[in-house]
A = this chain, B = another copy of it.
Amino acid sequence: MSHRLAPDLHVTRWLNTDTAPDLNSLKGRVVMILAFQMLCRGCAVQAVPQARRVRELFSETDLIVLGLHTVFEHHEAQGSEAALSAFIHENRIGFPVGIDTPGTGPAALPATMNDYRMQGTPTLVLIDREGVIQKHRFGHTEDLQLGAEIMSLILESPRPG
């Protein structure tokens, strides 16, 4: 994998937060982005609960968890902010969730999903303290591995001086 700087997030609206997260101002901390769709079964059953566990385990001074709602199918059903708000509430999600900017054209992917070259949902992205994408994975990651990967980024990345 060629490591590259994490592209900006193109989000129409952030839920669960007062201030819109911005990858640039998060430099110095590790960032985990979970791209999901509320009707994606693997997202709801595995990935979202895992992201909640991650947020509980690590300190916010080390790691920030962000959700990204990348709707690329069933737009009518899961495309509204009201639907996402209800999903966040029912699944007791405590971290910020951004609505990825819808693409244009019939089969267009949302903007951030496109920029990150995501293949589907769930996708997990781990960004180091310098803003570089270190992991980018479609599908499920085992807890043991994810715990090790996150700790590795927390400890290995140089803290900006």
Residue in B closest to A50 when the chains form the complex, CB atoms: B144
- A144-B54 contact given A90-B40, A155-B152, A155-B156, CB 8 Å threshold: yes
Which residues of A come within 8 Å of B, CB atoms?
39-41, 44-45, 50, 53-54, 57-58, 73-74, 76-78, 80, 82-87, 89-91, 142-152, 155-156
Residues from chain B with Cβ under 8 Å of A57 in the complex: 144-145, 148
B86 near A82: Cβ-Cβ < 8 Å? no
Q: Is the interface of A mostly helix, strand, loop or mixed?
A: helix
**Identical chains bound together, number:** 4
Least CB distance, A23 to chain B, in whole angstroms? 23
- Cα-based distance from A142 to B50 in the complex (angstroms): 12
Residues from chain B with Cβ under 8 Å of A80 in the complex: 76-77
Least CB distance, A63 to chain B, in whole angstroms? 10
Among candidates B40, B90, B150, residue contacting A148 with C-beta atoms closer than 8 Å = B150
Tell which of A41, A73, A151 has the most Cβ of chain B within 10 Å: A151
- Cα-based distance from A41 to B44 in the complex (angstroms): 9
Residue in B closest to A37 when the chains form the complex, CB atoms: B90
